[in-house]
Structure 1
């Protein structure tokens, strides 16, 4: 397999986790909502946040980004705004993300405990599911660490934001979303990238002797 094809597939793995622009798209509606909530009544705050979500949706379509991702981002803002409109509490703008973090923590933590770290499962699926990656202790350990890092990010987000939610601190929730968002995500993605590269190197190295012996057997 050529290095160009490997790089392309590795980028597809990273796309599942969100790119740099995806990080920006996730924080803009939050900033707009928190700032608007300080100066405007709740109905107008909801309207402004929805307008920001629609604007980002249009921008993403104009940039020819994936329609599914653009729709997903807009739907997230719409659902969050809908929850606020239903409950009448601005702090509920964050409730979807809080419980999403809990779900992410449970999924990633359990995957490590059952020895099927989710980053490894995704990597192998993107590469056709043909690698016996769990039999390589180095690769499995790398994905244990990468998935564990992702689990820690999800766990930290849930614990801190849930505490702020119970304290009814909407401004604090907005700050926590920013602080625990991009910086921690970058660290987690760095761990995932390291695991992906380690997997590619070790799996390629492991496959080479087998291919060579097959050729020898065919020649004889």
Structure 2
């Protein structure tokens, strides 16, 4: 995460929980002793941990939010190496070893660069579990099973967030836009963020609709499954995130005479 979080509480500093004195905000990530975090603080923490970033002009930085170039490589290359190695050798073991080696190399690279290890460790854990499943069953296509359950879990969680009127898109984008949780008081903003969440759900559902039938084709569908996994992974996620951002853009406030206001 960057040194200063882009997710700022839109309330006046003196009214923020934990302020040491008027005009002086509590340091980020700290809580007064014996107090429980508010819903707003939990939501801000969730948005920050989701790794979303914004550009200097206030728009979402989609590439950086997806992990940057290195993050994209970490998500794409292990699966690509697995596909190439299995296609060439037709042996499961070297393909699994190759994928694990790539994931391990990225983890070491982050250690050397002194970057946050969260994404790399999650990546190597995912590749390791996928390799274990494929090795246990002896089926190369089982290397991709974990992704199906991950997508399904996100679909369920996001659908629940819409049902309880806490759409995930609002929690993610609200703090980037300095809306905090105030958007929940505006039915139009709640509706917009529900639509944005449905966009992300659609991306996840499309992955399952396309990839699950290929999985059941066995090795005959492995190349197509691996290819669609790469294309519908980070690239499609970036597109879906950007579309959701655009669809949830608030209406531009009325401009003062001679001072047009740029929409967020």
TM-score category (smaller protein): 0.7 to 0.9
Q: CA RMSD in A?
A: 2.9
Of 167, 184, 189, the match for 1:134: 184
Report the CA distance shift for 1:88/1:55 in structure 2 as closer, same or farther (over 3 A).
same
Tell whether 2:167 aligns with 1:117. Answer: yes
| Distance of 2:191 and 2:226 partners within structure 1 | 35
Q: Which runs of 5+ in 1 are unaligned?
A: 203-220
- Alpha carbons 1:13, 1:122 under 8 Å: kept: no
- Alpha carbons 1:12, 1:126 under 8 Å: kept: no
| Distance of 2:154 and 2:127 partners within structure 1 | 19
**Residue 14 of structure 1: how far off its partner (Å):** 6.1
Provide Cα deviations, 1:155-194, integer angstroms capped at 9, x if missing partner.
0011211111111121111111122123321222213444
Of 11, 15, 23, the match for 2:72: 23
Provide Cα deviations, 1:20-68, integer angstroms capped at 9, x if missing partner.
3323211110100000011221111111111111111112233332122
TM-score scaled by length of structure 2: 0.65
Q: Which runs of 5+ in 2 are unaligned?
A: 9-46, 53-64, 254-264
Structure with the higher fraction of residues in helix conformation: 1
> Which residues of 2 match residues 88-99 of structure 1 at below 5 A?
88-99=138-149
**Residue 125 of structure 1: how far off its partner (Å):** 7.5
Specify which structure has the bigger relative contact order, considering alpha-carbon pairs within 8 angstroms and separated by 6 or more residues. 1
Provide Cα deviations, 1:5-28, integer angstroms capped at 9, x if missing partner.
7x8228947615632332321111
TM-score scaled by length of structure 1: 0.77
Report the CA distance shift for 1:72/1:105 in structure 2 as closer, same or farther (over 3 A).
same
| Distance of 1:70 and 1:183 partners within structure 2 | 18
Q: Count residues with an aligned counterpart.
A: 196
